[in-house]
Amino acid sequence: MEGLGEIRLTAEEMRYIALLQDLTGAVARDCIVDEENGRIVFVVRPGDAGKAIGRRGANINRLRRLLGREIEVVEYAEGLETFVKNVFAPARVLSVRLVERNGKRVLYVSVDPNDKGQAIGRGGRKVSIARLVLKRYFNIDEVKIR
């Protein structure tokens, strides 16, 4: 199952991508501004997450201060399973199952029981990021952690 076609970026998103690249040297493929939760999610090229985050989170913290928003970084992957593992990292994803129910695409993500809290995130933060990114790339309507 391949990702969706071309993603259109707003001028604001393109400015954020340029800023991330200038500050960190990481190459961003995409940027999602999540107004509702006051955060920006960058989807970076495979292998660039560490560069984007920086030593001890230095780059992310600098971006956070500059933009006044929470910053999230997800490493891109072609395949759904790898992409999901990247979204939920460092939680260990054991399996991913996509089910179509009543015209909705529901993704069940099984994680190591010790990592469940980490996979959900404080106040469901990780799950909401997963919903945003997976909707955009794989047209998934719902994400459930098991």
Please list the alpha-helical segments (H only) found in 30-70: 49-53, 58-67
* 111: its two tokens: 């994680």
Q: Are 43 and 30 within 8 A, CB to CB?
A: yes
How many other C-beta atoms lie within 10 A of the C-beta of residue 51? 17
The arithmetic mean of pLDDT across residues 37-47, rounded, is 95
Confidence of residue 8 (pLDDT cuts 50, 70, 90): confident
Q: Give the separation between CA 42 and CA 73, rounded to whole angstroms.
A: 5
Four-point Cα dihedral 123, 91, 45, 80, nearest 10: -90
Residues 142 and 127: their CA atoms lie apart, in Å, by: 9
Q: Is the pLDDT of residue 3 over 70?
A: no
Percentage of the chain with pLDDT > 70? 96
Q: Which of 19, 26, 1 is nearest to 134 (CA)?
A: 1
Token output for 106: 């529901």
- pLDDT, residue 93, reads 97
Q: Tell me, what's the pLDDT at 44?
A: 97
pLDDT at 6: 67
Give all domains of the chain, ordered by start, each with its CATH number.
Answer: 11-75 (3.30.300.20), 80-145 (3.30.300.20)
Distance CA 28, CA 9 (A): 12
The structure tokens listed for 75 are 């490493």
For residues 125 and 87, give the distance between their C-alpha atoms in angstroms, rounded to a whole number: 11
**Packed helices 125-138 and 80-88: angle between N→C axes, nearest 10 degrees:** 160
What average pLDDT does this structure show over 71-99? 96
Across all residues in the chain, what is the average pLDDT?
A: 93
Residue 9 has a pLDDT of: 87
pLDDT at 4: 47
